[in-house]
Structures are given as C-alpha cells and as structure tokens.
Homo-oligomer: A and B are copies of this chain.
Amino acid sequence: MPVPLYQAKAEFFRMLGHPVRIRVLELLQDGPMPVRELLANIEVERSNLSQQLAVLRRSGIVTSAREADTVVYSLAGPDVAELLGAARRILTELIAGQQGLLDELRATQPVGAPTRGR
C-alpha cells in the first residue's frame, strides 16, 4: 500500500467536513441544481456558498456548467449517495450509543462517586 494514500483519504474526508458542503451534496443527490436554487435552500450568503462550491469543485466531487445566466452544479459520480448513507448509519449508531450511555449514567446514582467519567 503506497504511503500517501492515507493523506488522500484524509483530505477527502476533510473536504466533506463542512455543513454547507454536506447540504450541497445532499441537494445534488436529487439531480443537477443551479446556484440560485442552492442558495434558496441553504442559509448562507452568496459569496460564502461560492467558496464552498469552489472547495467541492477542486476536489472533483462536483462539476459546474454555465447555462445562459446561471451556473448549474452536478455530482461528478454516482457513489456519493452510498457514502452519505454509510455516514448516516454510523452517526445513528453513535448517537444511539451515546443515548445508551446517558441512560446508564442517569440510572447509576453513585455514592462514593467514581469521578472518572471522561
């Protein structure tokens, strides 16, 4: 396994690590969408959206095309839905786990107090 692969993977995930970028990818799952419409669906100012779109474009996960006076964005490939799905499953799992932990904490009323919960 070549060494810099971990670097590429990490960069890829970092590219996904922003709420606006996530929303864009989710919106694009239903098909191509002009910037105007993205802007209407996401609470962010135009220039900030542009910055985030630029990040996505640079990574290659989306493509853009000009159509008359608007710019339309699309997903570059089909596997994005799968990725977001897997992420959602893990998140659900993690949140469920934390919920379980909370329940546990609520149920256990310590006397001597273990005082080591981190």
The chain A residues found within 8 Å of chain B, CB to CB, are: 6-23, 57, 59-61, 76-77, 79-80, 82-91, 93-95, 97-98, 118
From B14, B21, B79, contact of A89 by CB (8 A): B79
Assess whether A13 is in contact with B22, with CB atoms less than 8 Å apart: yes
Write the nearest CB–CB distance from A88 to chain B, whole angstroms. 8
User: Given A79-B86, A79-B89, A98-B60, are A18 and B10 neighbors across the interface (CB < 8 Å)?
Assistant: yes
A14 to B91, CA, bound (A): 13
Assess whether A79 is in contact with B83, with CB atoms less than 8 Å apart: no
From B60, B79, B91, contact of A9 by CB (8 A): B91
Write the nearest CB–CB distance from A4 to chain B, whole angstroms. 9
Contacts of A89 in B (CB 8 A): 79, 82-83
A9 to B17, CA, bound (A): 8
Closest B residue by C-beta to A20:
B6
Assess whether B76 is in contact with A9, with CB atoms less than 8 Å apart: no
A93 to B87, CA, bound (A): 19
